Amino acid sequence: MAQLLVVTRSLVELTDRAVSDTELSHAAADVLMFAARQAARLVEDVVSLRSREPEDATAFVQCSSSADLDRAYSDLECLAEAASMIRAYGIGTQYRAHLAYLMRYAAESACQALERAERSMNLADLTTLTHSWVMDARA
């Protein structure tokens, strides 16, 4: 999760720079597309790890971190697709600033969702660990 947050925060910085520069070059689009797709794969990995066992999967789907991870995944895929379109078709100067704002919004939204998911998962892990200690102490 830590690596995922680092990548996503970097995406926020890159899209923020694109807004400041009002420039979305093909090179910037390449980096954004690659990083957003990698981050989306990392989200898939987190979900896979959290839902390996059937009982874990049921609990995971019901917790708020599942919805936050889903949101982050969607935002990252959206960001990757936008960057892919820039690479494939370019973009007119009149639309660059608008697209940069939308891409920054998607990156910030993904980052916020991942931060919420991390807090929720840490709390769930702590609760599980505490419950385990109490059960061990009773035995």
Half-sphere exposure of 10 (CA within 13 A, CB side): 15
Residues 6+ apart with CB under 8 A from 18: 24, 28, 32, 100, 103, 104
Query: 22-73: per-residue pLDDT in tens?
Result: 667 778 888 999 999 999 999 999 888 877 766 666 666 666 778 899 999 9
CATH 3.30.10 fits 2-138, yes or no: no
Looking at the chain, how many residues does it have? 139
Answer whether 0.75 is exceeded by the pTM. yes
Query: 93-133: per-residue pLDDT in tens?
Result: 777 778 888 999 999 999 999 999 888 888 766 665 565 55
Residue located via tokens 């494939």: 88
